[in-house]
A and B are shown apart, each in its own frame.
Chain A
């Protein structure tokens, strides 16, 4: 299986980086081909550019070769895995920018018919996975609501026309966790990645 891991964290020495390493290890152990898109490492832009916005309505919305490359990856991948820290109930801006620039019309969906009906195009996608760390506790995340989870699982999930299996792994209260519980989270994530089919 081909797996594409989209990763956003500015700190290469963070716990988030450790999460990424274990995600990759879990996937590779099961013989999957893994491509990691390390958005901060790629110095990926933090927003759609004005030129890209102009191009959006033209039928060829991709004008950046990096975006074209990522779009091709997404179209042929079996699993999309998002790894990020949750900030203000959702993903870091750089990852939101990746969604906006990559999952464009013609890649992720088509608009068809006179009423511009949204038709999903990532129908080959078998797994959509989110792995995140929260600064806040479980009840706080539930209370203010987990918008990132919705963005990943519902919005991206929608593009597979319901064919992808959706799964979510979150570690709450990151700073208050003992080393043992952090380690257990990493083990669980690695095992879950290895079990993806």
Chain B
């Protein structure tokens, strides 16, 4: 089944290993004949800082935030969200965390009915969330840090998606020490997984 895939890329350079990962993600998706939209947050110079107006209006409807129209449209369009990024300090780069902060807005990602204590899911079109990431540190260090980035997405963001939404975390650890052949194996795995989404 071909899927509608929103790929969000958060790395300052396409010349980096993450840039290579992105290429392989897109190759895999093309081979699987999926519909793809790509958001390159650094190339777009996305401002990750939720503004004062957005904070004060955080329960206002999406129409009041025309600066985020494209993001809202992308989120509502996709059934699969693929995030490609390095893991810095155990979590997503700030630019991607900020994309979550600003675009997972009321009326798009969640609703808060009057009197409700917690948000209700509104992004029920999203049935898959895939993270493809590289860690500078070995798996063990990430385990000590508690992998907060994985929790943000696989628990926090997933909670507003489809109730059966599946999440996967495809990661390469200890970047600086890993052999070329392992790196290539990781890239092949990424490509394969994207084709078969």
Q: Is chain B found bound to chain A in the same assembly?
A: yes
Binding site for B on A (CB under 8 A): 9-11, 14, 40, 46-50, 53-54, 87-94, 96-97, 99-100, 103, 115-116, 118, 135-137, 140, 143-145, 147-148, 150-151, 154-155, 158, 173, 176
User: In whole angstroms, what is the CA distance A14 to B48 when docked?
Assistant: 20
Partner of B95, one of A91, A93, A103: A93
- Asked if A155 contacts B56 (CB within 8 A), the reply is no
**For the complex of A and B, 10 pairs with smallest distance between CB atoms:** A93-B98, A46-B48, A97-B94, A147-B148, A150-B146, A93-B48, A89-B156, A50-B12, A47-B95, A96-B94
Interface size class of B (residues with CB under 8 A): 35 or more
Q: CB-defined interface of B104-145 with A at 8 Å, one 1/0 digit per residue?
A: 100000000000011100000000000000000100010011
- Asked if B52 contacts A118 (CB within 8 A), the reply is no
Nearest CB in chain B: distance from A5 CB, A: 19
User: In whole angstroms, what is the CA distance A147 to B97 when docked?
Assistant: 12
- A–B Cβ pairs within 8 angstroms, 10 of them: A11-B55, A89-B151, A93-B98, A96-B89, A144-B159, A145-B155, A148-B148, A150-B151, A154-B90, A155-B90
Partner of B12, one of A49, A143, A151, A176: A49
User: In whole angstroms, what is the CA distance A155 to B135 when docked?
Assistant: 14
Partner of B94, one of A11, A94, A116: A94
Asked if B2 lies at the interface with its beta carbon under 8 angstroms from chain A, I say no
Q: A89-B151, A94-B48 known; 12 other A-B pairs, CB under 8 Å?
A: A10-B51, A46-B98, A47-B98, A50-B13, A96-B93, A96-B94, A136-B119, A150-B151, A151-B91, A154-B145, A158-B144, A176-B117
Query: Which residues of B have CB within 8 Å of A49?
Result: 12
User: In whole angstroms, what is the CA distance A65 to B75 when docked?
Assistant: 38
Query: Which residues of B have CB within 8 Å of A54?
Result: 13
- Asked if B156 contacts A116 (CB within 8 A), the reply is no
- Asked if B155 contacts A89 (CB within 8 A), the reply is yes
- Asked if B93 contacts A100 (CB within 8 A), the reply is yes
Nearest CB in chain A: distance from B181 CB, A: 19
User: In whole angstroms, what is the CA distance A62 to B97 when docked?
Assistant: 22
Query: Which residues of B have CB within 8 Å of A136?
Result: 117-119
Given contacts A10-B52, A87-B50, A94-B49, contact A151 B89 (CB under 8 A): yes
* CB nearest neighbor in B for A44: B49
User: In whole angstroms, what is the CA distance A137 to B117 when docked?
Assistant: 7
- Asked if B155 contacts A173 (CB within 8 A), the reply is no
- Asked if A10 contacts B49 (CB within 8 A), the reply is yes
Listed residue (A87, A140, A158) with the most chain B CB atoms within 10 angstroms of its CB: A87
Asked if B47 lies at the interface with its beta carbon under 8 angstroms from chain A, I say yes
- Asked if B56 contacts A11 (CB within 8 A), the reply is yes
Given contacts A89-B155, A93-B49, A100-B94, contact A147 B117 (CB under 8 A): no
User: In whole angstroms, what is the CA distance A73 to B72 when docked?
Assistant: 40
Nearest CB in chain A: distance from B35 CB, A: 26
Query: Which residues of A have CB within 8 Å of B88?
Result: 48, 100
